[in-house]
Chains A and B, each alone.
Chain A
């Protein structure tokens, strides 16, 4: 495991990668978004529970809102490509605001552990009340020939009771 702090160029590359990944989602270029993922990627959104401060966990070790890999994420995209994904017809307008990016060495020499905050604004139809999702991300980003790939996303929503009738968007 590399222990040195990633250099400035690496941090810039990671930042650029996360921004482009978010842009693909916000522009609904889902196939482009899938291209940001490693073939063995894991995509996990655990459930948060309101617990006392001294409880042993507040992010559930077993319950998941998303528990996906590239294959199931591809299915989600294929679904959106049919004419019958009613949840996204008409589509949500989303904006992913990615900040507080901190890159550290990962478990493998070719990987980085990247923390970031993500605030998602989501507007639907003529509703003037958007949904907001404040999210703590812990991503594993892998260096490969010709760039970076997302090997793991672990994204925890800050609410325990989540607003919005569904989560038909990606975080």
Chain B
């Protein structure tokens, strides 16, 4: 995709932002700025590997969902061969939208304008009045739906608009070690519980991406009610404990909250914990068994959270996993997608309980998420003000922490969990993309 040039003043400003990050400075205005948004669309979202769907959303041949990369609506479909294809949701004839639904099942798509027909893999197979109208001047092989490159990891389907992007494995750069905590609960992996919650929020995607890359700092205050009603296994005084892990040069980061005396794999059903002990690497078992909360972001806009949660405060509770996608639709405006992931092998009862815990705590009506979204909307609003143009935020927490030598997981890993280390890595990666250094 051809990128549009921007003014030299804007380029210089982006360079200045990039230089500030290692010194723990990042400007407020980027969280609500039309120009930043426009550049991000081309330099971040058109270049990075962007999450499209979980394979379990389209388990059968013909299943499809429609999703976005930047402002491009894509059809993500499982073809008759079983392979997953992503194509631009735009008819090659005059550009009508092929799929107007968010999900469904179809072996073929027929355009409702002039009737061109495509296989769900994108191949053009039918053109009305082919002989009479086109007289041999149209080769169907040249006019299939525009394809988008996809790759998968453990059920996650990613797409990129950049033909030169590195392979997904390299892009993830070792973060897979941590993603397995969400995606490999049991040998059959995870599946979505159902279609995602989907809503529009007056929040910049970056605020959510940062928060989920391991903001353990906000929890005791933003979610103070939870401590108040007795929801948390950690108290305010032990809450800072744990690790902040990030993949340098990749932007991915995860916060691993730890509570002293927390039983290994607490909140997982016994069979599942046993299976994880068997199927995961010894290093993963060592890390995951002592993790209470794991909250991480895959650069740029895919996040996960796993945490034990009880419907009734103080009870043992279950683990739930939420996966969310922050789809930017304007400066300071985001379409949120929020799924609950459940272990495929778990009992129906456990899945139901985990899902109920998820709805009570997360997504649009979740008691924890509600408060985040309120804060994020205010942050966004402030960031868009005139004076905010000259304001920077401090990202200096843990600047001097040295990596924990005993931690068995990959990346740059520091203690405690409450730390800005992941955020410096996130914003330095963002700055790399914004200055064309991806």
Binding site for B on A (CB under 8 A): 45, 47, 49-52, 55, 60-68, 71-72, 75-76, 78-79, 82, 84-88, 160-168
Return chain A residues, CB-CB under 8 Å to B193: 62-63
Interface residues in B361-414 (C-beta closer than 8 Å to A): 363-365, 367, 369-371, 373-377
A63 near B225 (CB under 8 angstroms)?
no
Return chain B residues, CB-CB under 8 Å to A86: 222, 370-371, 374-375
Return chain A residues, CB-CB under 8 Å to B369: 166
B198 near A87 (CB under 8 angstroms)?
no
Shortest C-beta distance, B220 to chain A (Å), equals 10
Shortest C-beta distance, A168 to chain B (Å), equals 4
Q: State the interface size on chain B (CB cutoff 8 A).
A: 42
User: CB < 8 Å: which of A49, A61, A71, A88 contacts B311?
Assistant: A71
A71 near B103 (CB under 8 angstroms)?
no
- The residue in chain B whose Cβ has the minimal distance to the Cβ of A50 is B102
Return chain A residues, CB-CB under 8 Å to B360: 67-68, 72, 75
**Complex CA distance for A60 and B340, rounded to whole angstroms:** 14
Return chain A residues, CB-CB under 8 Å to B365: 45, 65-66, 166-168
**Complex CA distance for A167 and B197, rounded to whole angstroms:** 12
4 further interface pairs, Cβ-Cβ under 8 Å (given A50-B101, A72-B311): A64-B355, A71-B311, A165-B199, A168-B370
Return chain A residues, CB-CB under 8 Å to B107: none
A87 near B371 (CB under 8 angstroms)?
yes
Would A78 and B195 be within 8 Å (CB), given that A67-B355, A165-B376 are in contact?
A: no
Q: Which of B116-124, B179-187, B200-208, B262-270 forms contacts with chain A? A: B200-208
- The residue in chain A whose Cβ has the minimal distance to the Cβ of B224 is A84
Determine whether B196 belongs to the interface, using a CB cutoff of 8 Å to chain A.
yes
User: CB < 8 Å: which of B222, B228, B364, B376 contacts A167?
Assistant: B364
- The residue in chain B whose Cβ has the minimal distance to the Cβ of A66 is B365
B374 near A47 (CB under 8 angstroms)?
no
**Complex CA distance for A86 and B359, rounded to whole angstroms:** 18
User: CB < 8 Å: which of B102, B199, B229 contacts A164?
Assistant: B199
**Complex CA distance for A72 and B363, rounded to whole angstroms:** 16
**Complex CA distance for A72 and B360, rounded to whole angstroms:** 8
B102 near A49 (CB under 8 angstroms)?
yes
- The residue in chain A whose Cβ has the minimal distance to the Cβ of B370 is A87
B367 near A79 (CB under 8 angstroms)?
yes
Determine whether B167 belongs to the interface, using a CB cutoff of 8 Å to chain A.
no
B199 near A163 (CB under 8 angstroms)?
yes
Determine whether B61 belongs to the interface, using a CB cutoff of 8 Å to chain A.
no
Binary per-residue interface labels of chain B (221-245) against chain A in the complex, 1 for a CB within 8 Å, 0 otherwise: 0111100110000000000000000
A63 near B102 (CB under 8 angstroms)?
no
The secondary structure that dominates the B interface is mixed
Between-chain CB contacts (< 8 Å), 19 pairs? A45-B365, A47-B194, A47-B195, A55-B101, A62-B194, A63-B195, A72-B356, A75-B229, A75-B312, A75-B367, A82-B224, A86-B371, A86-B374, A88-B370, A160-B102, A164-B364, A165-B203, A166-B365, A166-B369
Closest 7 CB pairs of A and B: A62-B194, A63-B194, A87-B370, A84-B224, A167-B365, A165-B201, A162-B199
User: CB < 8 Å: which of A52, A61, A66, A82 contacts B228?
Assistant: A82
Would A85 and B225 be within 8 Å (CB), given that A49-B102, A60-B194 are in contact?
A: yes
Determine whether B335 belongs to the interface, using a CB cutoff of 8 Å to chain A.
yes
Shortest C-beta distance, A52 to chain B (Å), equals 5
Shortest C-beta distance, A135 to chain B (Å), equals 13
- The residue in chain A whose Cβ has the minimal distance to the Cβ of B193 is A62
Shortest C-beta distance, A11 to chain B (Å), equals 31
The secondary structure that dominates the A interface is mixed
Shortest C-beta distance, B92 to chain A (Å), equals 22
Determine whether B436 belongs to the interface, using a CB cutoff of 8 Å to chain A.
no
Shortest C-beta distance, B310 to chain A (Å), equals 11
A87 near B374 (CB under 8 angstroms)?
yes
- The residue in chain A whose Cβ has the minimal distance to the Cβ of B100 is A50
**Complex CA distance for A47 and B356, rounded to whole angstroms:** 14
User: CB < 8 Å: which of A52, A64, A71, A163 contacts B104?
Assistant: A52
A55 near B229 (CB under 8 angstroms)?
no
Would A82 and B229 be within 8 Å (CB), given that A71-B311, A161-B335 are in contact?
A: yes
**Complex CA distance for A61 and B193, rounded to whole angstroms:** 10
Shortest C-beta distance, B37 to chain A (Å), equals 18
Return chain B residues, CB-CB under 8 Å to A55: 101, 104
Return chain B residues, CB-CB under 8 Å to A85: 225, 370-371
Return chain B residues, CB-CB under 8 Å to A82: 224-225, 228-229
- The residue in chain A whose Cβ has the minimal distance to the Cβ of B99 is A52
A162 near B198 (CB under 8 angstroms)?
yes
**Complex CA distance for A164 and B203, rounded to whole angstroms:** 11
User: CB < 8 Å: which of B100, B355, B356, B364 contacts A166?
Assistant: B364
- The residue in chain A whose Cβ has the minimal distance to the Cβ of B374 is A87
Binary per-residue interface labels of chain B (406-426) against chain A in the complex, 1 for a CB within 8 Å, 0 otherwise: 000000000000000000000
- The residue in chain B whose Cβ has the minimal distance to the Cβ of A87 is B370
Q: Which of the listed residues B197, B225, B313, B369 has the most CB atoms from chain A within 10 Å of its own CB?
A: B225
**Complex CA distance for A85 and B375, rounded to whole angstroms:** 11
Return chain B residues, CB-CB under 8 Å to A76: 367
B197 near A47 (CB under 8 angstroms)?
yes
Shortest C-beta distance, B228 to chain A (Å), equals 5
A51 near B374 (CB under 8 angstroms)?
no
Shortest C-beta distance, B360 to chain A (Å), equals 6
A162 near B364 (CB under 8 angstroms)?
yes
